[in-house]
Structure 1
Amino acid sequence: PKPVPKKAPPPIVQKAPEFAPVEAPAEPQPTPVTAPSAPSAPATAASSVPTHAEQFTEANFRANYAHNPKPEYPMIAKSRGWQGKVLLKVQVSAEGLSDAVAVDQSSGHEILDESAVEAVKKWKFIPAKRGETPVASSVIVPIIFTLRE
């Protein structure tokens, strides 16, 4: 019998951290932005996905939560009662900086989306790693704008 050639594993495509990976015990929490800001506990665990030769660890924004400022809640959005959730696709460099930030899913209000993009452009990330080597990757960052009564 002839040996069957092994196919290379498919490339890893990062999904939104909105839902916990299969091996993670709990769902990560999105970043809430509230009118009077209330501190919340950050999730600090990095998700990892095994690959053919080396382990691949996804980029992470939660570990730097305290150093990543929340987006400003625009006054006009507050006065009009606008709320929403925006999903941002962030290209993270090997150095942990945001190379590009784009709206993946709009909150429904352009001013909220723009505020989220401007804040996340300044964020620092824990870069993805292939083995021990930092690599560029992309991550989906959820930002929730909520008014408290």
Structure 2
Amino acid sequence: MNLYFRSTSFAFAVHASALVAMCAVPLAVSERFTSSGQRNVISIQLSIAQPAAVESVAMTIEPTPPLPREDPIEFQTDRPAPLLHRPPVPPTPPEVTPQTMPVVRRAVASRMLPPTATTIPIQQQTGLSEKEPASFTANEPPQYPSQAVRDRLQGTVLLRLFVDSTGRVEDVEVVESSGHATLDDAAMEAVKRWTGQPARRYGRPVASEEVLPIRFRL
């Protein structure tokens, strides 16, 4: 800016000096007259004086100091961060809560085992080691009375058997009741028809009395 101002001032000063010199130029006018009756000629001679030497002015032009370089302004634009390529995440399936269905229990008919009357083997009498008791294992047990089955009756009856030497039951009596006359009678009726192996003493068949328990159980 200072260099431009100085150059303009210098040019203005030069032009002003030249204009002053031109105004100061002397004009030499010579008039010549003749008396011979000729036409008067006025001769005007313009002498342009040399312009005065303009004193040279030494001007030192100082170099314009370089303008301070301003640091460039950095504009930072918020750019979205590059998206990383991620594998697609499968959608989470909706959670299914299993519903507990009420269990309908059906009444299952329990297998009814046929009621049994079991005969317990006759024990050998104490002190008669030489004697072998009678055996009735080949006979069928007493039938469970149907009325006793309906009434859900159970029990054990203890019978005394009078057996002859051939193994046939001659008579029966109740030693201990089962608590139900129906079961006692069924046991006695069945045992009266039994025939088995007679008791033996020293290998010979003999008549004997045997105690036989019969158990009725559903």
| TM-score interval, smaller chain | 0.5 to 0.7
Q: CA deviation at 1:50?
A: 6.4
Match of 2:132 in 1: 57
Greater Cα radius of gyration, structure 1 or 2:
2
Match of 2:190 among 114, 119, 129: 119
Cα 1:109–1:81 shift into 2, 3 Å: same
Residue identity opposite 1:128 in structure 2: A
Does 1 or 2 have the higher relative contact order (CA < 8 Å, sep 6+)? 1
Q: How far apart, in 1, do the equivalents of 2:141 and 2:201 lie? A: 29
Cα 1:119–1:57 shift into 2, 3 Å: same
Cα 1:90–1:76 shift into 2, 3 Å: same
Match of 1:30 in 2: none
| Conservation of the 8 A alpha-carbon contact between 2:163 and 2:210 | yes
- CA RMSD for the aligned pairs? 2.8
Match of 1:137 among 208, 212, 217: 208
Q: How far apart, in 2, do the equivalents of 1:57 and 1:139 lie? A: 11
Q: How far apart, in 2, do the equivalents of 1:110 and 1:136 lie? A: 29
The gaps in structure 1 that reach 5 residues or longer are 1-33
The gaps in structure 2 that reach 5 residues or longer are 1-111
Q: How far apart, in 2, do the equivalents of 1:138 and 1:48 lie? A: 10
Q: TM-score, normalised by structure 1?
A: 0.61
Q: TM-score, normalised by structure 2?
A: 0.43
Q: How far apart, in 2, do the equivalents of 1:77 and 1:55 lie? A: 41
| Conservation of the 8 A alpha-carbon contact between 1:85 and 1:143 | yes
Percent identity between the two aligned chains: 38
Determine if the alignment matches structure 1 residue 36 to structure 2 residue 111: no
Greater strand share, structure number:
1
